[in-house]
């Protein structure tokens, strides 16, 4: 299915969860914030939140600085 990931259209496996998307991308849930259609998904719910065709997904990585 197609969704928009960080502003770019992307093909992902059908019936994928937000947590599954992070796995496909090689990202650790504790290091990112995931937003679907302008709503933040709590980390505790990433595995259960199913993505749908056309969803707008933003993944924001935490960056340590000093």
Provide the pLDDT confidence category of residue 66 given band limits of 50, 70 and 90: low
**What are the structural domains of the chain?**
2-61 (3.10.20.30)
3 state DSSP class of 45: helix
Digit-coded pLDDT (tens) for 43-62? 999 999 999 999 999 999 87
Average of pLDDT values for 2-22? 97
End-to-end, the C-alpha distance of the chain in Å comes to: 40
- Ramachandran bin of 47, using left for φ above 0, alpha for ψ from -120 to 50, beta for the remaining angles: alpha
The pTM score is 0.90
pLDDT at 37: 98
pLDDT at 30: 92
Backbone angles phi, psi at 61, to 5 degrees: -90, 135
């Amino acid at each position: 299915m197609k969704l928009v990931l960080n502003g770019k259209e992307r093909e992902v496996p059908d019936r994928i969860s937000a947590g599954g998307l992070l796995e496909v991308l090689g990202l650790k849930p504790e290091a990112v914030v995931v937003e679907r259609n302008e709503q933040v998904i709590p980390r505790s719910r990433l595995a259960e939140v199913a993505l749908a065709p056309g969803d707008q997904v933003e993944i924001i990585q935490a960056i340590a600085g000093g």
